Copies of this chain bind each other. A is one copy, B any other.
Amino acid sequence: MTRNHPPASSNNKPARPRGRDLPHTQCARCPLRANPNLRKFSAAELEFVQRFKIAEIEVQAGRVILRDGERAPHLYTVLDGWAIRYKFAGEGRRQVLNFALKGDLIGLQSALFDKMHQTVEALTDVRLCVFDRKRMFELYREHPGLAYDLTWLAAQEKTILGEHLVNIGQRPAIGRLAYIILFLFDRARRAGLTSSNTLEMPITQEDLADAMGLSIVHTNKTLRRMHALGLIEWRRNRLTILDIEQLSHLAEIESVTAQQRPFI
């Protein structure tokens, strides 16, 4: 676990978007649309989403995008970059809940409950599509397909968190690690961020440890052990999967299922 997180460390400053808003680009030419894993919009939906979208912003690596307990004015979709979702648990302990990659929605909790129940922080510089929270009900009223998608995305998060709960609650360190590695690799693959069996990512061993509920030291030792077994390679920001069979076996999972998922 993370010890000694400075309570108000420099990477906990409020999200001040790096600059002036970027040009309000066309949703029809949204780069996410190229991803075959993401579902297509109808013309009417596309037109609505275009109006729903307020701006595009860029958030610097290390900045907080949304903070636990605060009310966010907007809803975001990640266009590019990596973010991390976590909660603090008194005295510098941190639990990582998930990661956000391109295509992921951020801030739904705030839109529904009037405040966030987790913090979302940029791991790299992140480009975000900004949506107008106040139009949420219009979305529900006029575009049942999009409304359904929002439910779908929320339920998807819930399923993922359930699996993480199994991971942390029931598996030994090596199994947890195997699971997380496969999880990350699969998510990245769907987002088109992998090349064959390697993945470039901004995740530190500390992030990994906090996601697994293990100490950094033990995470490191487990990582080395896994390397010694010839299952992976983990060099600063670069993960290579060497034996997916063995990893799946350690994680006690069969395989990962594919499906076209929605986004906004």
Q: Which residues of A contact B (CB under 8 A)?
A: 1, 87, 89-90, 93-95, 97, 108-109, 112-113, 117-118, 137, 140-141, 144-145, 147-148, 150-152, 154-159, 161-166, 168-171, 210, 212-213, 252, 259
Contacts and interface: CB of A to CB of B under 8 A. Distances in A.
Given A151-B154, A168-B168, A170-B213, 6 more contacts: A87-B163, A89-B166, A108-B151, A112-B155, A147-B148, A164-B165
Q: How many copies does the complex hold?
A: 2
A140 B137 CA distance: 12
Q: Nearest 5 A-B pairs (CB), nearest first?
A: A169-B213, A140-B144, A154-B154, A161-B161, A90-B252
B118 A162 contact: yes
Contacts of A213: 168-170
B109 A155 contact: yes
Contacts of A118: 162
A112 B252 contact: no
B165 A158 contact: no
Q: Which of A113, A145, A150, A158 has the most CB of B within 10 A?
A: A158
Contacts of A159: 109, 113, 117
A157 B137 CA distance: 21
Given A109-B155, A112-B152, A155-B108, A165 B97 contact: yes
